A and B are shown apart, each in its own frame.
Chain A
Amino acid sequence: NAGVTQTPKFQVLKTGQSMTLQCAQDMNHNSMYWYRQDPGMGLRLIYYSASEGTTDKGEVPNGYNVSRLNKREFSLRLESAAPSQTSVYFCASTPGESEAFFGQGTRLTVV
C-alpha cells in the first residue's frame, strides 16, 4: 500500500513563482489535510477537506489555495511564492475520528 503520496519531495522557487503541491491517498479516506512545519512552530494547519468537494481554512491559509479534485487527491497551490513560505509541507488523510496518515513531506525553499 502506498498510503499518502506527496510530490515533489523537494522544490526551490524564486519569489513570485507559482507551484502546486500534489497529494494522493489510496485508503479511501474522507478527510484530508495540508500542514506546514517550521522549526519551533510544530505542525500548523493550512487547509482541511472533510470530504470531496468541501474545503475549510485552517490556522495559516493566507497565500495558499487548495483543490479537492476527487476523494483521492488534495492539492495545495502557491500563486505567488514568498520567502515566508519556505517550510516543510505535509499532507495527511484520515477516515474520521481516528489516526491520521501522513505523507513524507515536501521541502520547499523560496529564494
Chain B
Amino acid sequence: EDQVTQSPEALRLQEGESSSLNCSYTVSGLRGLFWYRQDPGKGPEFLFTLYSAGEEKEKERLKATLTKKESFLHITAPKPEDSATYLCAHTNFGNEKLTFGTGTRLTIIP
C-alpha cells in the first residue's frame, strides 16, 4: 500500500539553527513529490515539486531533495517567520490524486 511518512512530527529550533525534515515514501510508480507550507488558519501553500531521484530545488532558506525512498526539506539558518507546518504529498503514474503526509510542525525560536 502506498504510504508517505513524515518525521519528526514537531521540531523546535533556535533561530539560525539549520536542520532537515524528512518525508519517506513507499509508493509504486511515484510521479511527483510535493512540498507545501501551511500557516495556522490557512490553506497549504505550494513550495516545490520533485520528479526524479537526485533532483534538488531551492527557494530562499529552503532546499528540497529527492532520493528513491525519501525526500528532505533542508532549512538553513531559519528565521521565526519560517515557523509553520510543512507537508509533503505525492502523485502516482496512473493516479493523479494528490495524497498528503501528516506534516511536521516547525517552530523557530528567536
Contacts and interface: CB of A to CB of B under 8 A. Distances in A.
A3 to B, nearest CB: 10
B98 A94 contact: yes
Interface residues of A, number: 28
Contacts, number: 55
A56 B98 CA distance: 12
A103 B43 contact: yes
Nearest to A104: B43
B44 interface: yes
Interface residues of B, number: 21
Contact of A42 (B43, B49, B87, B98): B87
A48 B97 contact: yes
A92 B74 CA distance: 26
Contacts of B89: 43
A25 interface: no
Interface of A: 4, 31, 33, 35, 40-45, 48, 50, 56, 58-59, 90, 92, 94, 96-105
